[in-house]
Chains A and B, each alone.
Chain A
């Protein structure tokens, strides 16, 4: 089945630790995105990548890092510099082609990160 897989579903982090959230897609999409979801705030963009080996900061990139070494994979690391990391994290992908700029995004099932 084509889609986006996020793992783990639940993640607990101690203060001061870095943790990495996995995101894999087999949709052959060029573009991938990480969003953070907090209650009542909708989705906020953390990082995005339009092509392998290239990524850009979104609206709330501080305390996060990413890599895009393969087209299929876009892992997100939540570093100890992120002051309030407890949230629901969503990975998404979409076609990058300009002619399809009205295309919809496909989302993973999310990772719920809790700082303990």
Chain B
């Protein structure tokens, strides 16, 4: 069975400082990994994904994430946080060994609330 963990319910960071939102995963095969952001009372917006290739993935709004196979992690990062980055962030995983199907095979984490302090 696959799983994903976001160990921090909330992360606080000062505006202008680098931010990291942590994600670890467990799959039997190789993973597809995703990050989404959710603003209050809104749907999820896709930020970035890891499928294969370069371990450093760049996404929307200046976010990036580093895939680390040995540590089974996919932490979300940004060099300089903005107040407007304050939102709920979700990590998601799918086992690449699944040969068919779509998002019914994706497992979402419980979310990390990011608070950027002016």
* B104 and A45 within 8 A (CB): yes
- B111–chain A nearest beta-carbon distance, Å: 6
* B44 and A96 within 8 A (CB): no
| Contact partner, A33, options B46, B94, B104, B111, Cβ 8 Å | B104
Task: Report the separation of the CA atoms of residues A40 and B105 in the bound assembly, to the nearest whole angstrom.
Answer: 21
Digitize B91-107: 1 where CB-to-A-CB distance is under 8 Å, 0 elsewhere. 00010101111111110
| Contact partner, B104, options A56, A88, A108, Cβ 8 Å | A56
| Contact partner, A110, options B9, B42, B100, Cβ 8 Å | B42
Interface, chain B (partner A; CB < 8 A): 9, 32, 34, 36, 41-46, 49, 51, 90, 94, 96, 98-106, 108-111
Interface, chain A (partner B; CB < 8 A): 4, 6, 9, 31, 33, 40-43, 45, 48, 50, 56, 58, 88, 90, 92, 94-96, 98, 101-110, 112
Q: A43-B90, A98-B100 are in contact. List 5 more A-B contacts (CB 8 A).
A: A4-B43, A31-B103, A50-B101, A88-B41, A110-B41
